[in-house]
Amino acid sequence: MSARVSGRWRRASIQRRVGSRPALSVSSKLAQRLLERGDEPVERIAAQTGLGTPANLRHHFLRFTGTSPSVYRTAFRSLVSTVTWADRGAPEPAPARHEPARRGADAPNGGRN
């Protein structure tokens, strides 16, 4: 005999174990991808992810990522532009190197002062 479990009980059980509702987590991850890949307004992203309103999107996005959708998009674009600029062969600043002073025969002047 199999035990029947209601969908509501199952969702509550998952929420207790995971600490969040799976559908909201999936919606937040989808919102991340849409913010990363496009220029669509937050209103449209809220509708596409099933969160409905921009206020709901901001609330759940902040809860899952720790930042607002607009700040996330700006930070992501800044990071991507920095990485892609470096990949295009732009000269990078030389790393600061500290070498110990050479003395004796290894010194550039052969140890002569």
What's the predicted TM-score (pTM) here?
Answer: 0.53
- Residue 64 belongs to some domain of the structure: yes
Cα–Cα distance for residue pair 29/61, rounded to 1 Å: 9
Is residue 106 one of the residues assigned to a domain?
Answer: no
Query: Mean pLDDT of successive 10-residue segments in the chain (113 residues)?
Result: 65 60 72 90 90 89 90 88 65 57 60 58
Residue 1: predicted pLDDT: 46
Assign residue 82 the CATH number of its domain. 1.10.10.60
Residue 12 lies in a domain: no
Name the strand (E) or helix (H) holding 78: helix 69-87
Q: Which domain holds residue 56?
A: 17-87
